[in-house]
Amino acid sequence: MGLRAACMAIPTLCMLVCCGGILAQSKNEDTTTRTVEGKVTNAADQPVADAVVQLKNTKTLQIRSFITQKDGAYHFAGLGSDVEYELKAGHNGTSTSWKSLSVFNTKKTATINLKLKKVK
- Please state the domain extents for the chain: 1-30, 33-118
Per-residue b or e along 17-43, where b marks 16 or more CB atoms closer than 10 Å to that residue's CB = eeeeeeeeeeeeeeeeebebebbbbbe
Per-residue model confidence as pLDDT tens digits over 92-118: 999 999 999 999 999 999 999 999 998
> Percentages helix, strand, coil for the chain, rounded to the nearest 5?
20, 40, 40
Does domain 33-118 fall into CATH 2.60.40.1120?
Answer: yes
The pLDDT value recorded for residue 4 is 57
- Do residues 51 and 88 touch, judged by C-beta distance below 8 A? no
Say whether 20 sits in a helix, a strand or coil: helix
| Tens digit of pLDDT at every position of the chain (120 positions) | 565 555 455 554 444 444 444 444 445 456 789 999 999 999 999 999 999 999 999 999 999 999 999 999 999 999 999 999 999 999 999 999 999 999 999 999 999 999 999 876
The pLDDT value recorded for residue 13 is 43
- Do residues 51 and 40 touch, judged by C-beta distance below 8 A? yes
CA distance 3 to 36: 52
